Amino acid sequence: MQLFRGIREAVRDKTADKLYAHLLALGIEAEILQGHPLQKVSVKTSSWIGFPSSQSRSLGLVKVHGKNIGYVNCVRDVVGGGPAASQEDYLEYLVPLREIPLGMCWAKLKTRKRGLLRRRVVDIEWGGGTLADMLNGDLSLKDRLLMEFQLNRPLDIIVAPEPLHQCARIATTLHLPYLDLPLGSLFDCLDRIAGHIPSHVTEVNSRPEKVLLEVKVEINPGSKDAEVADCYVTDRHLIIKSREPLQIPMYMIEDCDVSILFGAGMAEVSHSTVTLRYRDESGHRQKVEFGMQTYEAGSLRRTLSTSYPCGISR
């Protein structure tokens, strides 16, 4: 038994151990966690024509104490398969949250470059929702990030909500191994970004909901239980006021599929069936179907796809 344990320890990936040692060297208190639910944040698989094109898995999770960043997830992304497969390791920084303010908890760092032969970053700006506005107002953060770019570090940074895991994720394009570099200044930048997120969440959730769209929908069309109900899209929820009312948080909506009905001779009629796919509070996939006017169905889909950048596909 001791022999097997020794073999398992010898072949175990040590990325999380290196990160843990690196954080300690920076004076940051940390601990390695095993089997934590937040390791599933970055577990993803995508495919192309039925074949896996990329797979992401967690190599380990490190809990950070005394910082705005709560956890650092070591992620391995494997692209392709067989002998041609390639892999990249990188870190994702997680900020635990009790509530996620929909697409407004989203931001992407944009850069402006100058130069002919050697293009250098001369300015940065955050794009996205209201979180981006808050980050753009932090001039000290801007100066620190510009200093990081002067070190020729590729720092495409994205802040995205992870509502099913009750956290926000800060992802960068800086791949491992880079733990041997003096990255204390970069961690301070990312921690400063993380510090804006909870206050932003509190500020956004204290606002009254803003109605973005109001339409009529037909529940159970063609049946004896058919009814016409009001449907509202706010900046936080989709609400259907039927006999069995439905209120879906916007960040739980995964897809909105519109099927146009055709009449005799393929003449288009002004009616469509909308299929809405979402996740419930337990994370299980659900769907609801209803009928509505075709032009209103298009407005519904456009509103859903533009009000939450990380939500349904456009």
Spatial contact of 111 and 149, defined as CB atoms under 8 Å apart = yes
**How many angstroms separate the CA atoms of 139 and 2, rounded?**
55
Do 196 and 217 reside in the same domain of the chain?
no
State yes or no: pLDDT of 181 exceeds 80.
Answer: no
Give the mean pLDDT of 128-150: 89
DSSP 12: S
Of residues 52 and 85, the one with the higher pLDDT is 85
- Report pLDDT digits (tens) over 91-114: 899 999 876 655 557 888 998 888
Going by their DSSP bridges, the two strands 157-162 and 120-128 should be labelled as unpaired
The answer to whether residues 11 and 97 belong to one domain is yes
If you count DSSP H runs as helices and E runs as strands, how many of each does the chain have, helices first?
A: 6, 16
List pLDDT tens digits, range 54-68: 577 888 899 999 999
Query: Alpha carbon 290 to chain centroid distance?
Result: 28
Q: Is 239 found in the same domain as 198? A: no
pLDDT surpassing 80 at residue 8: no
pLDDT at 191: 94
Question: Residue 262 has what pLDDT?
Answer: 58
Q: Rounded distance, CA 32 to CA 39, Å?
A: 12
Total residues found in the chain within this entry: 314
Confidence of residue 151 (pLDDT cuts 50, 70, 90): confident
Q: Residue 59 is which amino acid?
A: L
For the cut 60, the answer to whether the pLDDT of residue 182 exceeds it is no
The pLDDT of residue 269 is above 80: no
Is residue 177 exposed (0-12), middle (13-18) or buried (19+ Cβ within 10 Å)? exposed
Q: Which residues pair with 3 in a beta bridge?
A: none
pLDDT at 256: 85
> Is the pLDDT assigned to residue 140 strictly greater than 70?
yes
The domain of 91 spans 2-205
Domain end call among 205, 238, 255:
205
Nearest to 276 by CA among 286, 284, 288: 288
Q: Kindly state whether residues 171 and 265 are assigned to the same domain.
A: no
pLDDT at 192: 95
54 & 184 share domain: yes
Residue 142 has pLDDT above 90, yes or no: yes
Amino acid at 11: V
Compute the distance between CA of residue 15 and CA of residue 176 in angstroms, rounded to an integer: 9
Rounded CA gap, 250 and 312, in Å?
10
- Assess whether 171 and 263 both reside in one domain: no
Instruction: Report whether 179 contacts 22 (CB < 8 A).
Output: yes
How large a percentage of the chain has pLDDT more than 90?
18
The token pair at 232 is: 């509202």
* pLDDT of the residue at 178: 67
* Residues 200 and 241 grouped into a single domain: no
Q: Rounded CA gap, 113 and 48, in Å? A: 34
Is 314 within a domain? Answer: no
Same domain (yes/no): 86, 200: yes
Strand pairing partners for 259? 273
Whether residue 160 is predicted with pLDDT greater than 70 in this model: the reply is yes
CATH number at residue 253: 2.30.29.30
The pLDDT of 253-278, averaged and rounded, is 73
pLDDT bin (cut points 50, 70, 90) of residue 83 is low
CA atoms within 13 A on the CB side of 40: 7
pTM for the predicted model, two decimal places = 0.72
More confident site: 98 or 256: 256
Q: How many folded domains does the chain comprise?
A: 2
Q: Pick the residue with more confidence: 77 or 309?
A: 77
Nearest to residue 102, comparing CAs of 162, 170, 157?
Answer: 162
In the predicted model, what is the mean pLDDT of residues 260-271? Answer: 58
**Residue reference for tokens 């990255």:** 183
Mean pLDDT in the chain?
79
pLDDT at 52: 46
DSSP calls for 93-118: EEEE-S---GGGS-EEEEEEEE-SSS
Residue 285 has pLDDT above 70, yes or no: yes
Number of neighbouring beta carbons within 10 Å of residue 160 = 17
Q: Is the pLDDT of residue 48 over 50?
A: no
Is residue 127 domain-shared with residue 237, that is, in the same domain? Answer: no
